[in-house]
A and B are shown apart, each in its own frame.
Chain A
Amino acid sequence: MIDFLEKWSFFGGSVLLILIGLYGVITRKNLIKIFIGLSLMDTGINVLLVSLGYVEGGIAPIITSTINNNSYNFVDPIPQALVLTSIVIGVAVLALGLGVIIKIYEKYNTLDISEIRGLRW
């Protein structure tokens, strides 16, 4: 039972994070809040990726002079590499998005997404 919870807590937690983020994105009107939601989703998915590569009781996959053969119980290193990349991308997008938000505020004097509707139909 505990095992089960432990295994699924990462999983469920991360999915929950994503859902919370998604909820934020589709309910909040404020652009900043929407981007907070997007960040939450990003974080959630990163947690999910890391948790997928987790091996119970594993150690960091770093080969040193003492740990130099495959018999050790390594955690899968690839998801961690992926998450690093993903974080970088997420940050880039976030930065760009916030930059755009600043410009939007200058132009429209509002952050309410439902009022920024110059392009429609």
Chain B
Amino acid sequence: MSLFYYTFIPIVIAFIAYFLNKKIKLSLAILNSVVFAYLFYQISRLYNQWNIPHETISYYMFDREIQLIFQLTPLSWLFIFMTTGAGLLIAIFTIKSQQEYVLRSSFHLNFAILIGSILGVVLAGDFLTLFIFWEIMTWSSFFLISSGEKKAAQKASYRYIILSTIGAYLMVTALFIIYNQIHTFGYNQVAAHLSGLPITESIILIIMLAIPFIIKAGVFPFHVWVNGAHSNAPKEFSPFLSGLMLKVGIYGVILLLYFVPLYNILKESVNYRGLPIFNYILAIFGCITVITGTILAIRQEDVKRLVAFSSISQMGYIIMALAISTPLGFTGGLLHLMNHMIFKTTIFLSIAAVIYRTKTTKMSEMGGLIFKMPVTFTAYLIAIIALAGIPPTNGFISKWVIYQALIDKGYIFLSVAAFFGSIGSFMYVFKPLSTIFLGQLKPEHENIKEVPFLMQLPMFVLMALILLFGILPGLQMNLINQISQLLNIQPVGFTLYSITGAFGKWNSLVIFSLFVGGFLLAFIIFISAKKSKQVGLMDTYTSGEYMDDPEAYHYAYQYFRPFDRVFDSFAARSLTVIYDTFAQNIVKLGNLFRKSIVTGNGQTYAFYMVLFIVILAFAGWII
């Protein structure tokens, strides 16, 4: 199948299905699952066929034909594989979970378009194709976010689209400045041209090219859209938004940092410890992202917001690792990218399952769901263990590689930020665990059941992946080394279950077996002791008081209040406020114009004409 069709099959089928939906009662979710499964199968067969020829479509635009190029590289394979995989899992999840959702059909239409456009973005072989699909991706995700059930979804999507568009326009400006000089958009030609330009000029162009990607990745000065969009998007879309969409931004960053080898272009310029200053600044932004995301995540009371901020902070890790441009950094970044996709999708899916049953996202309105929804709890538990970077899950391996890369170069502040994020992640992942799943069960949740099997299935698959990649990271390393070869990066040594770092070697098999040993020992001791008696959750120590209200006996609201107090002033001065004030000032300016110019008096309008003519005459006089 031609590469071109991968992008268009989902889009076309989605449109057809959307319009047939009314006539023939078909479930778009099932249809989407089938389509994605087919694509997934086809894409998995593409593995290792890197020498598929490029495909081009010519597009007559200015006064010449413009080629839209599609190409397959190991890097793009990774992304299309992840995209269709996540899309498939989420489509399966939605079959059951969206029974009562009003905007189902538009959700599935936009979702399929989104998948198609992401495939287009990563399969693109030149910047114009990338830009076209990038825009489609932005728009379809905009519609997806605004179809959230909460009222705030619209404001959040608004912020998202405005920010994305500003980025896209910067990119298109830079692209056409380049195009006017070399008359092509091809990656290689643009890269060659950029390296030939004077250094300031090429830095400005690169920054303009990079900003849309950085915005999409949710990195520090532009992270303001992420929390709103994630928390207000439909619950089934948040996993994809966090798992995949943010990563597409990272794809762009990889493209600029490695494919257009920024390192080579800027090598001669100012640098810090052998790292071009641009890369270092990017890494610093990543570092700030980690810290900001962590602190703000700890403060949240809404579970989706909390996980959204956690996504921001994890993106910071990836950016930081990629920006330092060492083989280890690159490997760690890509590993973390894959792993973050897996565990963050799991977290969001398990939260979607909880929301599906409880219809709320406020953590303090839930509690004690562990006995009612054990599968969901297990999925959440395993995913947060991975997120917090605790062995033997995949999350630790990627963080370990990133630490190795950071320490190797002696970037002390970056490493401290990375650790801060890691320890902070204990705090914020434990908060939902404790307040949603543990603690006292709310009386109104007495009759809750576990979610249907079709919703459990994706969670099972993802849990298995977390453990699988935790034990056998070599599966991922194989692909990453192929990507490294493509981008001329020195590959990192690995076997199926070990990775060689800068200061040591990681061997997951040994660690896993020791883990099993430790747990087995504990288990044996536990079993051999006297059997205990099961009592209810209300049957606890209460300093002699008699408690009958589980609501009052559940510690959930403002879980980390002492910590929050430390950062209250920090959180009040948020970037969102600054951006919003800026936007409001523009609106105020418009209102001023409107009130003062459009008075509704015909005579005033006539006066404007006279004034205009007088001004024109004066201006004409002057030149």
Contact = CB atoms under 8 A, between A and B. Distances in A.
A105 to B, nearest CB: 15
B599 interface: yes
A121 interface: yes
A118 B601 CA distance: 9
Contacts of A26: 603, 606-607, 610
A22 B610 contact: yes
A36 B73 CA distance: 77
28 contacts: A22-B610, A25-B603, A25-B606, A26-B603, A26-B606, A26-B607, A26-B610, A29-B603, A34-B603, A113-B601, A113-B602, A113-B603, A114-B601, A114-B603, A116-B602, A117-B599, A117-B600, A117-B601, A118-B600, A119-B600, A120-B598, A120-B599, A120-B600, A120-B601, A121-B594, A121-B595, A121-B598, A121-B600
Nearest to A29: B603
Interface in A77-121: 113-114, 116-121
Contacts of B601: 113-114, 117, 120
Contacts of B606: 25-26
Interface string A23-35: 0011001000010
A78 B603 CA distance: 34
Interface of B is mostly: helix
Contacts of A113: 601-603
Interface residues of B, number: 11
- Among A116, A118, A120: residue with most chain B CB under 10 A: A120
Interface residues of A, number: 13
Interface of B: 594-595, 598-603, 606-607, 610
A39 B378 CA distance: 86
Nearest to A120: B600
Contacts of B607: 26
A115 B598 CA distance: 15
B399 to A, nearest CB: 57
Contacts of A22: 610
Interface in A2-33: 22, 25-26, 29
A29 B594 CA distance: 23
Contacts of A120: 598-601
Interface in A28-79: 29, 34
Contacts of B600: 117-121
B607 to A, nearest CB: 5
B588 to A, nearest CB: 15
Given A25-B606, A113-B602, A120-B599, 4 more contacts: A29-B603, A117-B600, A119-B600, A120-B598
A10 B192 CA distance: 69
Contacts of A29: 603
A70 to B, nearest CB: 38
Nearest to B602: A113
A114 B604 CA distance: 9
A35 to B, nearest CB: 11
A112 B606 CA distance: 15
Contacts of A117: 599-601
A121 B592 CA distance: 10
A44 to B, nearest CB: 15
B19 to A, nearest CB: 40
A117 B601 CA distance: 6
Nearest to A117: B600
A119 B594 CA distance: 12
4 closest A-B pairs by beta carbon, nearest first, are: A120-B600, A117-B600, A26-B607, A113-B603
Contacts of A119: 600
A21 to B, nearest CB: 11
Contacts of B602: 113, 116
Nearest to B597: A121
Contacts of B595: 121
Nearest to B599: A120
Nearest to A118: B600
A117 to B, nearest CB: 4
A26 B610 CA distance: 9
Contacts of A114: 601, 603
Nearest to B608: A26
A25 B599 CA distance: 17
A118 B602 CA distance: 11
Contacts of B610: 22, 26
A103 to B, nearest CB: 15
